Each structure stands twice: as C-alpha cells, then as structure tokens.
Amino acid sequence: MLNKLDDFPIHQTPEPIAYPVTSDRNVYDRTWFNGYAKDGSYYFGIGMAVYPHRGIMDCAFSVVQPGQRQHCFYGSRRAPAERTEMDVGPFRMEIVEPMRRVRIVLDDNSSGVSCDLTFSARTAAIKEERQTLWSGTRRVMDATRFDQFGRWSGTVHTPDGDIAVDDEVCLGTKDRSWGVRRVGEQDTGGAPVTPNGVFFLWAPLVWEDHITHAIFFDGKQGEALVREGIVAPLYKSEAAVPGVEDGLDKRMATARHRVTYLPGTRLAKSAEIDLVGLDGETRTIGLEPILKFQMKGLGYGHPEWGQGMWKGELATGGESFDPRQLDMLAPENIHVQQVVRATDGTRTGMGVLEQVCLGPYAPSGFTNMFDGAKG
C-alpha cells in the first residue's frame, strides 16, 4: 500500500509509510491548533487526526466568545490510504509550507460554523520529550509532540456573527503529536481493570520576545510522571524563523505547578508555574484565566463525537452549548483550556492553560473520580 510520501527518503522501517511500526490499534497521528485574541474576546480550536489501525480520520472545529454559546463542527470518515489527503467533508487542512504555514478551511455546513484561516509560525519547532505512561504492564501512551507558536489571520463565521481574525491580535499554538494513546471506544473483554485517573497540565505562553512552555503529567499522589519546562525565542515574522529547529530552546531542570480551583469544580481559578533553571534560579509565573473553552468541542471525551470513533464512511455534525450552564464535574466537561493572562512580576504575557484531572489527586484533595474542590 503505497502513497505519495513513499517517494521521499523518509522511511524508518522496511515497510511503506502507510504501515505503522506498531500494531497497537490506538496508534494515531494528530495535528491540533488553538487561536485566541490577546484581549480574550474569542478562542477557537482545531483538530485533525488519522488512526491507521482503526481505519478512521476525524476532525473538529470549535469557537467560543465571552457570554455566548460554544459552537462546534465535527467530521469523521474512513481513513484514506493516501496520507497527504487531509480533508473530511467540508473540512480540509493545507500544509502551505511545512513548519511555517498551514491553511484551515471549513466550508459552509449545517453546524453554522465555518472558517478560512492561515497559521503563520513565529517560533521554530519545539519538541517535547517523549511521553510514555503505563497502566500496569501495558503502555497506554507512548507519543512524541512538537509545538510551534504563531499567529492567525482570516475569518471565522459563527451563528452569532463573523470574527475578523487579525494576525496582530490573534495568537496561537500548533501541536503535532503521534504515537499511541487512548482513543476511540474503550477496550472490552478480559479481567476487570480499575480505571486509572490522569492529571495533565499544559501551559504554552507568549511573551514579548520569547515563549515559555510547561508540561505536566502527575500520578494520583502528585508524583511527577512527565515534567518539563522550556524557554525559546519568539521571532517577529515567519520569514525570520531560521529553520525547522533553531537549537535555541532552553530546557529547565524541572517545573512545578500550583492550581487553585473554583469550589465544587476541577476548573482552575488561578495557577502558578515555577520554571527552575539548571542553576536553581526559579521564575514564578502567575496565571489568571479570562475565557474558558470546553475541549469536548474538539472531541475530547465527547460521548458521541469522541476521537477515533467509527461514525461511518462519512459523517458530519455539530452542536452549540452554553459553557456557563454545564455540569463541570460531568466526565465530558472536566477537560478544558482557558485563555490566561500571565505575569512573572516584571513581564506580562498571554497564553492558555490546559487542564484535565480525572480520579483521585492528593495535592488538590480529590478522593474519587469526579469530586470537586472543597470551598
């Protein structure tokens, strides 16, 4: 089974590129983006992934504005054999120039949301360390991710009106990841397994001339499973980015986090992140949330449009919901991103704080799967 990518010298195994090196049914390859106005007046998210052993390609686009409903488009199809084919119904992703520019088009459809957006990189690609998590003796996550920070231009159409996206106003993050992670319908059969919880925090932040990034996976006692802090240059234009990797990303010795939750929820009221350098110097960054985005709008934990779920040869759908009226302890609502203002005492920045905490987590006083913070 050959495709166009096989004409490039990129092979890592003797098989064609369409054959993943693992037979795990949960192998995936995903592109994900966010975009947000510096003043918090809108946020949109975009996702597209292929699951080779599930035979599925899916995508989503979702947008929210303060005081309004969050609008969502979902699409799913049988995965094409040709990996350069990146469209699902009215949705398509065009890699205009690898590692520099991507165009996302969502044509008019029954969901009422559409867009024509272009992402322009302002950083080199920044690779996170390989993320491997276990459930007993089974490797349930084994993935690599790289990030790029940039800006957006174009237009988003919603049932509430159009959003003119100006690259002087709209910041964003590109997230490319691949490997194995839990997707699609849950495995069945075999001996019963006690559900595992997860604590994940992800904080890409943009400052005047640099970016900071912090990534956390914790165990239920707060023990560090993955912990990483990064500082890297921010370039003034796409043309100024020197290459795929610039070698200038600075890795911290470690990073720490402190989250204060809104009572009765697992939603951050505020947070602090410590970036600890190799010399022990600590930079403490305070985060103030100003706009909430429900990640189920991109399929994360969605009961109907969950990622990697078979919906037929081609299916599209949409929904709108009021994020202020949700049960924030329902499983599908715990995973969120929030647009945040950042400060380290001398500088100010903007970014997002992604958070999902399922199950017991001792540092926050959570004792079961879905209890909320004590008042």
**What is the reported pLDDT for 194?**
78
**What is the reported pLDDT for 189?**
83
Q: Would you say 5 and 15 are in contact if contact means Cβ atoms under 8 Å apart?
A: no
**What is the reported pLDDT for 185?**
86
CA 163/CA 26 separation, integer angstroms: 36
Name the stretches of the chain with pLDDT < 70: none
Q: 265: helix, coil or strand?
A: coil
Q: If 0-12 CB within 10 Å is exposed, 13-18 middle and 19+ buried, where does residue 10 land? A: exposed
**What is the reported pLDDT for 20?**
94
Give whole-number Cα distances, 108 to 73, 305, 319, in Å.
11, 20, 15
pLDDT in tens, 52-66: 999 999 999 999 999
**What is the reported pLDDT for 135?**
87
**What is the reported pLDDT for 7?**
95
pLDDT in tens, 11-40: 999 999 999 999 999 999 999 999 999 999
CA 276/CA 255 separation, integer angstroms: 6
Question: Which homologous superfamily is 24-184+196-364 in?
Answer: AttH-like domain (2.40.370.10)
Q: Would you say 167 and 153 are in contact if contact means Cβ atoms under 8 Å apart?
A: yes
**Boundaries of every domain in the chain:** 24-184+196-364
Total-model pTM: 0.97
Task: Tell me the helix, strand and coil percentages in the chain, rounded to 5.
Answer: 5, 50, 45
Share of the chain above pLDDT 90, in %: 94
Q: 82: helix, coil or strand?
A: coil
CA 275/CA 254 separation, integer angstroms: 7
**What is the reported pLDDT for 226?**
96
Q: Would you say 346 and 167 are in contact if contact means Cβ atoms under 8 Å apart?
A: no
